[in-house]
Chain A
């Protein structure tokens, strides 16, 4: 029985009913990984260890809500004794001596981490083209990018190789690839999931989250990924609900906000058309639409491109060739050790962002850029706070269009930055947001973004699940992946 494209829920049933053994499931997963190797979705595989775990589960009944479920982990999470590169040459030899909390949580729930997925270098990119390990191919088309930075995770789920993957989202890195690959992806509230063991890009924006075929699967994963972690003082110490509990409740009366300032007229007709159809569908489910104003939202992208580079320039200083990772050959002195190591170890996009970050923090520019951006960030957050007094969730397209061809954005970085126009605001305000498939443009999937209030992931998941039990966009499968 094929396991390709099966959801977590379906695989759980198959395992419970002994339709398939744990070992068979993992064996078939690796077969699918190998058959789809041209997608370049994985940087490192964890086959031996995975089979051992599956074998154990076959012998001793496994505990844990996700026992035996194969999962692909973004290569940004530290995994003990398993190479973790963050998509960079700098860490091409890095074997962490510890595991991220979220990895531990998922593995404690029984998940089997089958491999580490390709990604934009240090999560900086929106197309997976900045990975040191080569582009990831979108299963929906040979030259199409999967989005980024969690492109490998999105492609692996979209190709039906794994039912679940972890991702991280600093400005849209879960939602944008989810949209471009036709899967469901959730960025929880900032602080919901521990950042311990996540290699930091921009600490005040980074958040891990689940990527899966359905909202229901995202809820199952989120249940296990969340924890209050004493090792991360920015992880939230609030009760963690059962995120599956309200999935099937009706959304009759749900108030959905539409952002006045999001100018959809600049988008492709198809995208607008699809968005309008989703609105109608939600109306048919009993939701009502309210126009809201987020007056400062248009400044989200410039704000982000000050805050994120500033934090990254500091976070990436530890990659200096002294304690771990790569070092250049035969440095003649300390200065050369630093400069050559970092110049060889980082790719162009990472360098660009480090330089921008150093610039906006440097003496004389701090107030004009960094402080200013943090002030605008507060204004943006205040806008959301006001809006959520009147609505339950906010809805927008996730991306400006469907997947584009590799190299097609030219070499102007700003064009790529604008890819994250709709996703960045939720990161700045720390709000939960998700993307679910809501249509096809030229046989390429596209996603709908739902933004929720602080800690209100349950409502997002409920709205998404209600949509998915009455539509079939999330069930579409690409012809590009091999079974």
Chain B
């Protein structure tokens, strides 16, 4: 795992690895990836991946509206909002 890969992955994750941490984290990631590379040794041909230990099918809900307007409750928890909207720095498209 090189620095460029780490920086791409960091960008995808919206994290910055500033200064002294960068080398250490790159090394840690490398070691962890090496560690999980052990999985390579197992033959998994034709094995269906297991995404959940519950091998069941989903319960679903009927199409009903159950939510109430909780605009104030939500907006007051936001780091930045006005009376109607969550606010972020202007996005230019």
A359 contacts B25, C-beta separation under 8 Å = no
- Beyond known contacts A323-B74, A351-B25, A379-B47: 15 more, CB 8 A cutoff: A234-B52, A299-B39, A306-B39, A321-B79, A326-B79, A342-B15, A352-B25, A359-B29, A373-B36, A375-B47, A376-B44, A379-B42, A412-B31, A414-B35, A430-B53
Flag B44-81 by CB within 8 Å of A: 1 or 0 each: 10011111111010111100000000100110011110
Chain A count of residues within 8 A CB distance of the other chain: 70
Residues in A with CB closer than 8 Å to B39 are 299, 302-303, 306, 369, 372-373, 376
Closest to A97 in B: B73
Residues in A with CB closer than 8 Å to B50 are 374-375, 377-378, 381
5 contacts between A and B (CB under 8 A): A190-B54, A303-B39, A320-B14, A343-B15, A381-B50
Residues in A with CB closer than 8 Å to B17 are 351
Q: Is A333 close to B, CB under 8 A?
A: yes
B36 contacts A324, C-beta separation under 8 Å = no
B49 contacts A375, C-beta separation under 8 Å = yes
Q: Is B82 close to A, CB under 8 A?
A: no
B86 contacts A302, C-beta separation under 8 Å = no
Q: Shortest 9 CB-CB distances between A and B: which pairs?
A: A430-B53, A374-B49, A327-B79, A375-B44, A378-B50, A338-B14, A375-B47, A302-B36, A377-B50
Closest to A343 in B: B16
Chain A interface main SS type: helix
A-B contact count (CB 8 A): 163
Q: Is A31 close to B, CB under 8 A?
A: no
Closest to A94 in B: B77
Q: Is A472 close to B, CB under 8 A?
A: no
Residues in B with CB closer than 8 Å to A373 are 36, 39
Partner pick for A358 among B1, B9, B18, B51, CB 8 A cutoff: B9
A334 contacts B88, C-beta separation under 8 Å = yes
**Distance from A279 Cβ to chain B, minimum over Cβ atoms (Å):** 28
Closest to A370 in B: B49
Q: What CA separation (Å) do A337 and B80 show in the bound complex?
A: 12
